[in-house]
Amino acid sequence: MQTVDFTTLVAICSDIRCRWLPSRLEKVYQRDCYTIALALRNLHGRCWLDISWHPQAARMCIGNPPPRLPDTFTFSRQLIHQLGGLVLVGIEMIAPWERALDMRFARRPGEAPIYHLHVEIMGKHSNVILLDTQNIIITVANQVHGKKSGVRTLLTGKIYEKPPKLTNTIPTLGESQQSWQERVSLVPGILKTRLLQNYRGLSPSLIESMLNCAGVSPNCTISSLTPSIWQELFQYWQMWLQALAEGKFRPVTTSTGYNIMGWQVVETVSDIQKLINQYYTNQLNQQQFEQLRHYLSQKLSNTLTKLVVKQNTFADKLQQSLHANTYRQKADLLMAYLQTWEPGMTEIKLPDFETGEPVRIPLEVNKNAVQNAQYLYKKHQKLKRANKLVKPLLIEVMAEINYLQHVEASIIQIDSYKSLIDLQTLEEIREELIQQQYLKAQKYINHNYKDRTYNFHRYHTASGFEVLVGRNNNQNDYLSFRLAGDYDLWFHAQEIPGSHVLLRLEPGTIADSEDLQFTANLAAYYSRACQSDQVPVVYTQTRHVYKPKGAKPGIAIYRQEQIIWGKPQQFRDSQFI
Q: Average pLDDT over the chain, rounded to whole?
A: 90
Q: Residue 575: what pLDDT?
A: 65
pLDDT band at 306 (very low <50, low <70, confident <90, very high): very high
- Is residue 284 a part of any domain in this protein? no
Indicate if 429 and 463 belong to the same structural domain.
Answer: no
Q: Residue 484: what pLDDT?
A: 93
Residue 493: closest CA among 521, 467, 462: 521
Tell me the range of 206-220, 287-301, 367-381 where mean pLDDT is highest. 287-301
Q: Residue 445: what pLDDT?
A: 52
Structural domain count of the chain: 4
Mean of pLDDT values over 529-542: 93
Q: Is residue 359 pLDDT above 80, yes or no?
A: yes
- Is residue 112 a part of any domain in this protein? yes
Residue ranges making up the domain that contains 415: 291-449
Q: Residue 571: what pLDDT?
A: 87
Lowest-confidence segment of 235-244, 370-379, 515-524 by average pLDDT: 370-379
* Last residue of one domain, picked from the residues 79, 111, 140: 140
Indicate if 369 and 390 belong to the same structural domain.
Answer: yes
pLDDT band at 342 (very low <50, low <70, confident <90, very high): confident
Contact (Cβ atoms closer than 8 angstroms) between residue 208 and residue 219: no
CATH code: domain of residue 110: 2.30.310.10
Which tens digits make up the pLDDT trace of 414-440?
988 988 899 999 999 999 999 888 998
CATH code: domain of residue 231: 1.10.8
Indicate if 303 and 255 belong to the same structural domain.
Answer: no
Task: Give me the phi and psi of 377, to 5 degrees please.
Answer: -65, -40
- Is residue 187 a part of any domain in this protein? yes
Residue 1: closest CA among 167, 165, 198, 203: 203
Mean of pLDDT values over 373-391: 85
Indicate if 60 and 109 belong to the same structural domain.
Answer: yes
Which tens digits make up the pLDDT trace of 95-150?
889 999 999 999 999 999 999 999 999 989 999 999 999 999 999 999 998 877 77
561 C-beta neighbours (distance < 10 Å), count? 17
Indicate if 440 and 359 belong to the same structural domain.
Answer: yes
Mean of pLDDT values over 515-536: 93
Contact (Cβ atoms closer than 8 angstroms) between residue 163 and residue 98: yes
Q: Is residue 188 pLDDT above 80, yes or no?
A: yes
Lowest-confidence segment of 236-240, 293-297, 452-456 by average pLDDT: 452-456
As a whole number of angstroms, the distance between CA 468 and CA 481 comes to: 13
Task: Give me the phi and psi of 492, to 5 degrees please.
Answer: -160, 145
Indicate if 315 and 444 belong to the same structural domain.
Answer: yes
- Is residue 500 a part of any domain in this protein? yes
DSSP H/E element including 304: helix 272-321
Q: Looking only at Cα atoms, what is the longest distance across the chain?
A: 119
Q: Residue 381: what pLDDT?
A: 85
Lowest-confidence segment of 97-111, 152-166, 322-336 by average pLDDT: 322-336
268 C-beta neighbours (distance < 10 Å), count? 11
If phi > 0 it is left, if psi is from -120 to 50 it is alpha, else beta; for residue 443 that is beta
Residue 12: closest CA among 52, 41, 46: 52
pLDDT band at 21 (very low <50, low <70, confident <90, very high): very high
Q: Is residue 167 pLDDT above 90, yes or no?
A: no
Q: Is residue 546 pLDDT above 80, yes or no?
A: yes
Mean of pLDDT values over 191-216: 91
* Last residue of one domain, picked from the residues 205, 239, 270: 270
Indicate if 302 and 427 belong to the same structural domain.
Answer: yes
pLDDT band at 514 (very low <50, low <70, confident <90, very high): very high
Residue 304: closest CA among 409, 199, 420: 409
Note the Cα 10 to chain centre separation in Å: 32
Q: Residue 383: what pLDDT?
A: 81
Which tens digits make up the pLDDT trace of 448-500?
444 456 789 999 999 999 999 999 999 999 999 999 999 999 999 999 999 99
DSSP H/E element including 128: strand 127-132
- Is residue 359 a part of any domain in this protein? yes
- Is residue 163 a part of any domain in this protein? no
Q: Residue 429: what pLDDT?
A: 92
Indicate if 390 and 421 belong to the same structural domain.
Answer: yes
- Is residue 157 a part of any domain in this protein? no
Which DSSP state fits 54?
-
Mean of pLDDT values over 533-551: 92
Indicate if 537 and 481 belong to the same structural domain.
Answer: yes
Q: Residue 451: what pLDDT?
A: 45
As a whole number of angstroms, the distance between CA 202 and CA 9 comes to: 12
- Pick the residue with more confidence: 36 or 383? 36
